[in-house]
Amino acid sequence: MDKGALYLAALAAGLAAGLIGRRQWRPLLAERWRGLVLLVPAVVVSVLPFVMWQRHPERIWSGDHSLVIGLIALRSAIWILFFALNMLPAAWFPGRKAPGLTLVQKLLLLPAAFGLAGEAAVLVANQATWPVPEALLTLGMSPAFSAGIKNQAYLFLRIADQTTPLAWLGQTWYTPWLSQIGLAALPTISPAEALTAAGAFLIGIGQFLAPSLKADTPNLKQDTSK
């Protein structure tokens, strides 16, 4: 949930790589994409838990965490719906002039979709908390951070044990450099988050893997009458 900056950086890196390789600006217009209006609620729902956590933490963490769990599920559902809409055949949209994404571009959507689904699955299964292996607490983490996790000072983290569902999708990889360069709040990352970040990069570079669309030019008729 705290990897928004990482996802944006990965997407920007993919777009930059494609731009350098193709040296064309038009793919940045995203003309082949459908349902771009879904990006608005997707972004809003993605940042809403953090806004509420900063301003009204008592609401988001009260009771059974149903509010934050619902926001997490809704976030992934909107993004996956957006990806699914763009994976449908162009024949299903006869009134649309743009041909839609190519097969390669559609395949490049899958890593991000699977990553988001994995994030939602582990968070919903663990009551909106990320499981953290206890072994990671001895791998260079600051004593204050390790003690905070053990004492449950971080409401969104918990020590994983044998009964933790989907523990392998938790914050299992120690990546202190992400927090050091400001791309994550935590010095750890989930395999699902890593897959989402890789998918964001592939989506960015995939923008430049399709033939460029030609600009529409009106048919000009010459008047030969005198």
Is 45 among the domain residues? yes
Is 114 among the domain residues? yes
Q: Which residue is listed with tokens 């927090």? A: 179
pLDDT for res 80:
94
Q: Crossing angle, helix 191-206 and helix 4-22, to 10 degrees?
A: 30
Is 32 among the domain residues? yes
Range of the domain at 105: 4-206
pLDDT for res 176:
85
Is 219 among the domain residues? no
Q: 116: which strand partners?
A: none
pLDDT for res 98:
75
Count of domains in the chain? 1
SS3 162: coil
pLDDT for res 1:
55
Is 39 among the domain residues? yes
Reported pTM: 0.83
pLDDT for res 182:
85
What is the full per-residue pLDDT of the chain (226 aa) written as tens digits? Answer: 568 889 999 999 999 999 998 888 888 888 889 999 999 999 999 888 878 877 877 776 666 778 888 888 999 999 999 999 999 988 888 777 778 899 999 999 999 999 999 999 999 999 888 898 888 776 666 677 777 777 766 667 888 888 999 999 999 998 888 888 888 877 889 999 999 999 999 999 999 988 766 654 444 444 444 4
Is 43 among the domain residues? yes
Is 88 among the domain residues? yes
Write out the two tokens for 155: 């409401």
pLDDT for res 61:
65
**64 within 8 A of 55, measured Cβ to Cβ:** no
pLDDT for res 22:
84
Strands of the chain, DSSP E:
130-132, 157-159, 173-174, 188-189
Contacts of residue 197, Cβ cutoff 8 Å, sequence gap at least 6: 3, 6, 7, 10, 115
Distance CA 54, CA 46 (A): 14
> What's the gap between Cα 162 and its chain centre?
29
Is 215 among the domain residues? no
- Sign of the Cα torsion 50, 54, 55, 57 reads positive
